[in-house]
Every structure is written in C-alpha cells, then in structure tokens.
Structure 1
Amino acid sequence: MVFELIEEHGSIARGRKVLIDVGPSPGAVGLVSATVLLESRKGEKVLRVFSPHFPQVSLIDSEGVSSLPVVELHQLSDGLNAIVLTRNFIVESTEAGESVARSVIERIGLDDVELLMVVTSGRLTGTGDVYAASNDPAVLRRAIESGAKVLSSVEALPVDRLTSSLMRRAMTKGIKTLLLLADTEGILPDFRSAKRLLQVMSSLLQIQIDTSKLDEEIARQQAFLKQMEEAFTETGETERREGGPTYIG
C-alpha cells in the first residue's frame, strides 16, 4: 500500500464548509483566481500532500525556484468557512487522484462539506463568459443569478483525475456540486477571465474579493499587446516599402 506524506501547517475549522477545488487549466485562470482569493480572504495554509504517485520531478517557476509537485489545502475563515484545494501540476493518474482524494476527505470530513465548487477554465466560445453546471437546480440557479451561463454541453471537462475523484465521491454522497468553467482564449495568464470568474464566485458565496491587482495586470497586459501590435504594423509597413521580407535558407 502506498501512503502520502502529509505536512500539517494548521487546523481545519469544524462545521459545515465549502470545498473549492482549483486545478491547473488553460490561461492559468484557476491559479490566478485562487491566488487572488487567498490573498483577499486571508487564506491560511493548513495541509500539504506529497505522494509517490505524483511525478517525481521538481517544478521550476519563472524565477528559477524549484519545488516538488504538491497538493495544498488552505483554510478561509474571514466570513466564510471554506477550504481551497490547489496544486501546481496536473494529476494525471487514476491512482494519484483516488489516493489523494481519500486523504483530503479523511481530514476535512466529507459529511461536513455542504458544497463542492470546482473552478476551471477552457476554450469554449471566445466570449470570455463563465459557465456553470450543477447536480442541484437551486445551486445552478444561484450561479446563473451571480452572472454565470448554463454549460449545456462539452465534449470533455477540463479537469484532472483528482477533481474527477472528488466530484464522483461528492455526487455519490448527494453533496451539492458546482462546476464553474471560465471561457479563455488561452493567453497566459488570462487575468480578464480570472476577474470574471472571481466576480461570479464573490456574488455566489456572498463575500468581497479584492480584484484591484487584476485590474493593474489587465491594464499592463493590454499595454503590452498594444505595443506588440504597433511593432508588427510598423514592421509590415517597412517591408512593403522595401519590397517585402528577406528569407534565409
């Protein structure tokens, strides 16, 4: 039998709670949304899970800092009893998904979860809207009232094996489950889609989420894209004046 390595950093609050599962997804929408949510609501890291099932390769970020693949649980207590489950990689194997889901559930207590909220993103319509699906009509109605649109059909959900295992266990137990899928063009990172997603979550969970940092990033990204567009336009005009581009080879 394979066991996970559990690092406990704090305590999980008792009582009924919301479990928010955020995995890697196109445009890094989930990662950005989780980061802003945790900063805004003073999330506290309470658990880290390492597993032999995970890829045994260190991940390296943009600053050259390496880290092992890990699943983390963060406790929100600032006006909402919620656990935010994040990870820095995609859980690809069924064994890893089932094993880690079991470890997570053992510590938070599935019977105490009143809502499993799955946050992800994908390339759907190009509109940038947030789409929702749920096994509970009342929850879906609340999501629609909060600004989401009904996710009528999709060939494959953009979720990994850990999310799939959590959803199956929750729905089998009759726990309300909500999927929020943000439409993204895949720009990395897609701050605009992350902001729309957080706006829906804020209304749905009835909590304030500070997205001012996202506004700054959106403005910075727009300025960069404008500069790139102007540079390409200028290059094209120069090539036309000089008789077209020169190719090597």
Structure 2
Amino acid sequence: MASPSASSKVSLKLLIDTKEKRVLLAEASKEFVDFLFNLLRLPVGTVTRLLTKKGMVGCLGKLYESIENLSDNYLNIPPQDKNILLKPSTPFASGYLLLANDDNINSSGTSNLYMCSKRCSYVVTSADNTACPSCQRHMNHTVQFVGNDRNATQVIGASGGEGGFVKGVVTYTVMDDLEVQPMSTISTVALISKLNVKDIASLQERVVELGMEEGIKLLKASLQCKNVLTSVFLKNMAV
C-alpha cells in the first residue's frame, strides 16, 4: 500500500450520536491509525512549532519563544545552534505523517545532511544553517545521503514493505478519546451499548477527511481534551 503524501487526505467514517452531539467512534484505515501512532514520535519542538506558540497549552510556547529571541552570544556554539531545538529532525518518513512537512526531512524519508561551503574537515550536521565549528559559515549545502537510515527504514520495512505501524488488511475502531482497536461487528455493538446510547435512531454515519489542517487540530485537541474526534469534526458540522 502506498503511503499518503503530506498534502493528501485520509477518509474517516464517523458514527455520530446526533441527539447527544458527539462522535461515538470512527471506522479508520491503516493510514489514519499510522498518523495517530506517529504523533507519539513528534519532538516537542516540532509540536510547539506546528501548533504555534500562542496555540500551546502551558508554558512551552514561552520557552520556544525564549529560544527564538535569545542572542547567539549566549548560546554554547559552535557546533550546534537554535535549529537543533526549534526545528528538530522528525524521526520518521514524511509520507506516513501528515504533519511532518519538516524542513529537515527529504522525499525519501531520511534526514538531510549539511556542510559548509568550504567543506571544513567534511563535518556534517542534520540541522540546516548550523554554524560551522571551524569557519563559522552556515552549514547549508546539502550532502547526498548514501545507504540506509536505520531510524527511517526500521518501521517502513517492518511489515514487508507496506510501511507504517499497523497492517492495512484490517479496519480499525478509533474511539472519541483516540483509543484504537481492530474493528469487528461484535465489538462495535458492545461499544455502542457501553457508551449508553439512548436512541439508536439518532445514530448517523458521516464520512470526513483528514488533511494537514485537521491533523493539526487533532494534535492540539489530543493535548487538551478526551473527546478529540467530537472536538475536531463536529464543531462546524450540522448534526
């Protein structure tokens, strides 16, 4: 199964309780479950940048802004600079993660490597524009990566070339609080009963799409509440 690109959209079938105005569960494909699992691999710096400083809950936004505003005179460089913290390399191929349009990830899913224009000692870095430890020039000349990136290929090849974390032959149930389990008719009926649905006639199926915008909203909601699917998809939907 081909992986979705960062600009693609993933379909999701929601089971909605229109009377209570809540999403009971979602019928999800491999792509959506891979997306959810990949959220756990995002560096905190990437999460902060994706949600923007003002969108962050707590103090991480202020911490991020402090690093942005801190003069280089106070940083312990060379060889590292702010991008190590502000734009950390995402540890997974962008094709499997809608949010990972990171500057340090190339189309093959491996981290880009950079050196300065003088190629001082052939020192390389994964953070673009890092100050060279020898000449202080920006290390922004891309170096071709040859061979396998263990971090990028370990999960990609784990399921016989299919990629991602879960198998594509299975449909998955994703609850409003993002609990994930393989779908079956019996388990779905049991879940509906457990969720205390008072009027079966009020249940309705809706197909929605998850793209970059919805992905960021879902990431933010997952850090703020336990009714994530309801928060992201029902807010502007007439039910």
State the TM-score bracket (shorter-chain normalisation). under 0.3
TM-score by length of 1: 0.25
Q: TM-score, normalised by structure 2?
A: 0.26
Structure richer in strand, relative to its length: 1
Structure index of larger Rg = 2
Higher helix share: 1
Bigger relative contact order, structure 1 or 2, given CA contacts below 8 A and separation 6+?
2
